[in-house]
Amino acid sequence: MIGKFKIRPENYKEMVDEIFSLLSTDVDCLRKGIAILQRLVDEVKYLKEVHVQ
């Protein structure tokens, strides 16, 4: 779905797939997934600020 958006983070689908693959009871995996999610959220916010007035 997001692949059709004009403005989107690079590798969005791959990042989301990795986030979901890291969901686990393992704390280190979970932290890594949360860090990736935070980077993705930050990138979306940046793209919004740059491209949406």
- How many C-beta atoms lie closer than 10 Å to residue 1's C-beta? 5
Contact 17, 31 (CB under 8 A): no
**pLDDT one-digit tens code per residue, 8-43:** 999 999 999 999 999 999 999 999 999 999 999 999
Determine the residue type at 43: E
**Confidence band for 5, pLDDT divided at 50, 70 and 90:** confident
Question: How far, rounded to the nearest angstrom, does the alpha carbon of residue 21 sit from its chain's CA centroid?
Answer: 13
Higher pLDDT: 18 or 3? It is 18
Task: Give 3's pLDDT tier (boundaries 50, 70, 90).
Answer: confident
Cα–Cα–Cα angle for 15, 41, 28, rounded to 5 degrees: 60
What ranges do the domains of the chain cover? 2-51
Q: Kindly report the CA angle at 10 between 46 and 6, in degrees rounded to 5?
A: 75
